Amino acid sequence: MAATTERTYSDDEITARLARDLPHWRLEGGWIRRKYKTHSWKGTLMVINTVGHLAEAAWHHPDITASYAWVEVRLMNHAAKGVTDKDFELARKIEDVVQWQPGKAGGALEGTPENDQRFAYVKYDA
């Protein structure tokens, strides 16, 4: 594979783009980061597996830290030594999939029951 130089963004550019496109993500320590809160270990594992699938399909791999009821995803392009379009695009896909609530989309899929904690797994953004 031929090496390509990818554009890295400045901190000001990253902060502006996150505010515009990914408001629940933040810039810290050279990474764009997002912490997903879950209801239990089951939800944590579901988020980790979702992020893992998307990262492998994209061939762009985040750092992940997890505990019983949360998962933090960190993205930065190691080869480019900064945040690139790959990071923003993968963050957007992760956000769309993890925050997906089919019951609110008005289609045939009902989504998990909101009022039954036995089925709760992700604490969705309001």
- Summarize pLDDT for 13-52 with one digit per residue, the tens: 999 999 999 999 999 999 999 999 999 999 999 999 999 9
pLDDT score of 4: 66
Q: What is the pTM of this model?
A: 0.92
- For 13, phi then psi, to 5°, come to -65, -40
Contact 62, 75 (CB under 8 A): yes
CATH for the stretch 32-99: 3.30.1360.20
How do the domains of the chain map onto residue ranges? 32-99
- Summarize pLDDT for 78-105 with one digit per residue, the tens: 999 999 999 999 999 999 999 999 988 8
Q: Predicted confidence band at 6 (pLDDT cuts at 50, 70, 90)?
A: very high
Is it the case that residue 1 has pLDDT exceeding 60? Answer: no
